[in-house]
Structure 1
Amino acid sequence: MSTHINESIDHLFRREYSRIVSLLTSKFGPVHIDSIEDSVQDALYKAMTQWSIKGRPEEPNKWLYRVAHNSIIDKLRRDSKSEEYLPEKEKKTSSTLEVDLSDGLEDEQLQMIFACCHPSMKETEQLMLSLKLLCGFNNKEISRALLKEQEAVKKALTRAKSKFKTEIGSLRIPHSNQLASRLDGVLKVIYLIFNNGYTALEGDNLLKKDVCEDAIRLAGMLYQHEKCNTNQTRSLLALMCFNFSRFNARINEVGDMLTLQQQDHNKWDTDLIELGLRFLSETGNSSTFTQLQLEAAIAREYAVAPNFETTNWRVILALFDLILTNNTSVVIALNRLVIVDQVYGTQTAYERLLKLQDKSLEKNYLYFSIKGDFEKKLKLEEYKTSLNCAVDLTDNLKEKEFLKAKLSN
């Protein structure tokens, strides 16, 4: 099969996966989630084998749904030897299936993500299950996204699916008295989905545009739902819009990564920036700010700067300091040091970097990448060792090329 057809099917599958899984789960129930996943995978396999020979159908999304639907019907019939498990409407219409994939699916997908974030599950289980069911990530992708061993991910997903089958009777949006407490978990999931697409943790395709768009779409569903349209939801939408506005400017004509300094601001999507500004303005003023609001405010400073040199680094540094008052994450500390470099100079930033104490730094490619950058600026020979460590610690081929280019320049 040609690369073009493979990419076309992958694009379609990424877009339709959660829609089909959500609709089938709504019809057949969470208890059959394993069969539903298998059926959707069957549909993808058949698309890959048949479309290269017969051509792509006029309505590929309906084709995928129909094949997945018929596949689960067959699986459940084989398992039960009867039709007692089938919803009444499926007994009557399964042989002549017609479906409007635009009818009510947003509600079902919104219900699905709340189901994946059920309070009976641990937070990491919620994240893993959502990545699995809403984006179709495999175990390796999930382990990279959450910095977990693959075996730990496999066990956690088994536990999460067990709870999903037993605790979720049917898909629905939580009642008002439960909604607020559940919404934070949902937003964390959506943010992780976006970051996974934006940074594309491994493989040749550094920037997975489909995944980013899917995360923004899911957050947009929350925004459209009266009781889910909160400051946190609007902050997340603002943050994603600001970051996504730079998507097309992050690589050059031959597919190489570009730093923020190298990017052409004229290629940034001004419509997305305006949308981000609108969402951020809707969060209002407060004496206290959430981390999402502060991260969105940082992204705003990058987005509105006419060029790299005029970026308001001191404001960004102050915003990072506010985040660190409540979150001492080493990743945030590392990103802050990049700003310290701009405000106080590389020597100061490097000295503070060496003072960081965290065992996870030994396997953190970002740490060695930043360390190598600082050392190269300071003309320290150690930069080669640091950048080589960063190369070894990332699986992303584009990131490897990016780091190796620094070694050769």
Structure 2
Amino acid sequence: MYYGGQSAAAAVEAVYRAESRRVLATLIRLLGDFDRAEEALHDAFAAALQQWPREGVPGNPRAWLVSAGRFKAIDALRRRARFDASLRLLAEQLEGEADKTELDEVEDDRLRLIFTCCHPALPADARVALTLRAVCDLTTEEIARAFLAAPATIAQRIVRAKARIRDAHISYRVPEREELPARLDSVLRVIYLVFNEGYSASAGPALTRADLSAEAIRLGRLLLELLPDAEVMGLLALMLLHDARRAARTDAAGDLVRLEEQDRSVWDRRQIDEGLQLVRRALTSPAPGAYALQAAIVAVHAEVESAEQTDWAQIVRLYDVLLGLSPSPVVELNRAVAVAMRDGPAAGLELVDELLARGDLHDYHLSHAARADLLRRLGRITEAREAYRAALQLVRLEPERRFLQRRLEELE
């Protein structure tokens, strides 16, 4: 089918939105270098803008772009070969290899790209930045805004990550079965870190970044589509169930609304239903993992119509299992809050005080905020004020700071 110039340009833009990450993933496989593949991607779409208005949009735009990008890269290598003889050899090698662009191969390329960006040999912050850039197509400026960093800092992380992949000869592949558990865990951690930064930002004026959480959910869906693992189901369920409450987490002024005070009628029931189905599938696997258990805890909240109906005994039991599987002070803190809801604030306070006495979570504002709330409920007002002040010294997110300040002012 042939298009006029304007329609063809619109088609190029639509194909870019739908296919550019797939094309980039395949070009990275074919060319063996992130920067070379990104340059080839740019050249391929530039060629499309020139040729498609005259010749029409090809029947398989993705294959056309991969082929165009590959040959543009070979031409570029040949032009530079007069300065570097090794580039001539590389160009000849690339030209001699088969151009594999079958659908299954391309889908595998997307999975390879995720595992490469999240390789455990890369620093954690570099994994996140490279994943958002290469897989999600966020700009350096968008990533910098999301993590309250300078664009130059994010750019350096991405450059260093690419150099590390190149210099360490990190394989662009899906790990073998025996390697998969450790490597998959790294991928899931990166995706959940991206989600959490969008769902509950670590600092700044806004509580949430919907676009960042949406990118993490999109990655989770992609990973589940390509790798139907129980822990992938658990992570996607966890993100969907959390994100379903987004509209109720803040009021019109942008202030924090506690879970028990949220208007549950505005929760996204479609996302909740999808999340609950995934939780059930994940929990019926032979050995449910930490993400599946966390999703099951969130599901207990999502299944009831009011906070008063929450089955806190079941939540405590789930935390017990989670602690046995993946012990951490944060999980202990969350379990302590659940125990307080089941057995009363004194029981929860004892557990929180034990945590703080060990030195765990001393610099974590939520541990002091939880302690302050339990002291408030026990009527120990002077101690509650001190705990709220300790939390305020540590909090970095403005809506949380305002919430804690209001609580403190109520007691004063």
Structure 2 length-normalised TM: 0.69
CA contact (8 A) 1:191 1:236 kept: yes
Alignment-derived partner of residue 223 in structure 1:
224
In structure 1, C-alpha distance between the alignment counterparts of 2:22 and 2:32, rounded to whole Å: 10
In structure 1, C-alpha distance between the alignment counterparts of 2:220 and 2:208, rounded to whole Å: 19
Alignment-derived partner of residue 280 in structure 2:
281
- Structure (1 or 2) with the larger CA radius of gyration: 2
In the TM superposition, what is the alpha-carbon distance from 1:326 to its structure 2 partner?
Answer: 2.9
In structure 1, C-alpha distance between the alignment counterparts of 2:300 and 2:265, rounded to whole Å: 16
Alignment-derived partner of residue 197 in structure 1:
198
Alignment-derived partner of residue 387 in structure 1:
388
In structure 1, C-alpha distance between the alignment counterparts of 2:275 and 2:362, rounded to whole Å: 36
Q: Which amino acid aligns with 2:204?
A: G
CA contact (8 A) 1:19 1:109 kept: no
Alignment-derived partner of residue 114 in structure 1:
115
In structure 1, C-alpha distance between the alignment counterparts of 2:32 and 2:395, rounded to whole Å: 36
Alignment-derived partner of residue 8 in structure 1:
none
Alignment-derived partner of residue 251 in structure 1:
250
CA contact (8 A) 2:148 2:204 kept: no
Q: Which amino acid aligns with 2:393?
A: D
CA contact (8 A) 1:106 1:221 kept: no
Q: Deviations over 1:98-135 (max 9, x none)?
A: xxxxxx98765533221022354477764565467556
CA contact (8 A) 2:345 2:377 kept: yes
Q: Deviations over 1:32-64 (max 9, x none)?
A: 559969x99xxxxxxxxxxxxxxxxxxxxxxxx
Count matched residues.
340
Alignment of structure 1 residues 5-404 onto 2, 5 Å: 27=27, 31=33, 33=35, 109-121=110-122, 126=127, 129-130=130-131, 137-138=143-144, 141=147, 160-167=161-168, 171-174=172-175, 178-179=179-180, 181-225=182-226, 228-283=227-282, 285=284, 288-356=287-355, 357-379=357-379, 380-404=381-405
Query: Which secondary structure state, in structure 1, belongs to the residue aligned with residue 259 of structure 2?
Result: coil
In the TM superposition, what is the alpha-carbon distance from 1:184 to its structure 2 partner?
Answer: 2.5
In the TM superposition, what is the alpha-carbon distance from 1:397 to its structure 2 partner?
Answer: 1.2
Judged with a 3 Å threshold, the aligned counterparts in structure 2 of structure 1 residues 185 and 17 are, in CA distance, closer, same or farther, namely farther
CA contact (8 A) 1:25 1:33 kept: no
Q: Which amino acid aligns with 2:228?
A: N
In the TM superposition, what is the alpha-carbon distance from 1:161 to its structure 2 partner?
Answer: 4.2
Q: Which amino acid aligns with 1:366?
A: L
Q: Deviations over 1:337-383 (max 9, x none)?
A: 11111111111211221112443422111111111111222222122
In structure 1, C-alpha distance between the alignment counterparts of 2:190 and 2:282, rounded to whole Å: 20
Judged with a 3 Å threshold, the aligned counterparts in structure 2 of structure 1 residues 105 and 202 are, in CA distance, closer, same or farther, namely farther
In structure 1, C-alpha distance between the alignment counterparts of 2:202 and 2:268, rounded to whole Å: 23
Q: Which amino acid aligns with 1:141?
A: F
RMSD: 4.2
Q: Deviations over 1:304-361 (max 9, x none)?
A: 0110000010000110011112333111111111111111111121122111244342
In structure 2, C-alpha distance between the alignment counterparts of 1:253 and 1:310, rounded to whole Å: 26
CA contact (8 A) 1:31 1:166 kept: no
Judged with a 3 Å threshold, the aligned counterparts in structure 2 of structure 1 residues 23 and 395 are, in CA distance, closer, same or farther, namely farther
Judged with a 3 Å threshold, the aligned counterparts in structure 2 of structure 1 residues 338 and 105 are, in CA distance, closer, same or farther, namely farther
In structure 1, C-alpha distance between the alignment counterparts of 2:335 and 2:301, rounded to whole Å: 14
Query: Which secondary structure state, in structure 1, belongs to the residue aligned with residue 337 of structure 2?
Result: helix
In the TM superposition, what is the alpha-carbon distance from 1:195 to its structure 2 partner?
Answer: 1.4
In structure 2, C-alpha distance between the alignment counterparts of 1:359 and 1:154, rounded to whole Å: 36
Which protein has greater RCO, CA pairs closer than 8 Å, 6+ apart? 1
In the TM superposition, what is the alpha-carbon distance from 1:272 to its structure 2 partner?
Answer: 0.5
In structure 1, C-alpha distance between the alignment counterparts of 2:330 and 2:217, rounded to whole Å: 23
In the TM superposition, what is the alpha-carbon distance from 1:233 to its structure 2 partner?
Answer: 1.0
Judged with a 3 Å threshold, the aligned counterparts in structure 2 of structure 1 residues 30 and 214 are, in CA distance, closer, same or farther, namely farther
Structure 1: where are the runs of 5+ without partners?
Answer: 1-15, 41-68, 89-103, 144-150
Q: Which amino acid aligns with 2:372?
A: G
Percent same amino acid among aligned pairs? 29
CA contact (8 A) 2:237 2:274 kept: yes
Judged with a 3 Å threshold, the aligned counterparts in structure 2 of structure 1 residues 333 and 172 are, in CA distance, closer, same or farther, namely same
Structure 1 length-normalised TM: 0.69
Query: Which secondary structure state, in structure 2, belongs to the residue aligned with residue 362 of structure 1?
Result: coil
Structure 2: where are the runs of 5+ without partners?
Answer: 1-15, 43-68, 93-104
Judged with a 3 Å threshold, the aligned counterparts in structure 2 of structure 1 residues 309 and 121 are, in CA distance, closer, same or farther, namely same
CA contact (8 A) 2:116 2:173 kept: yes
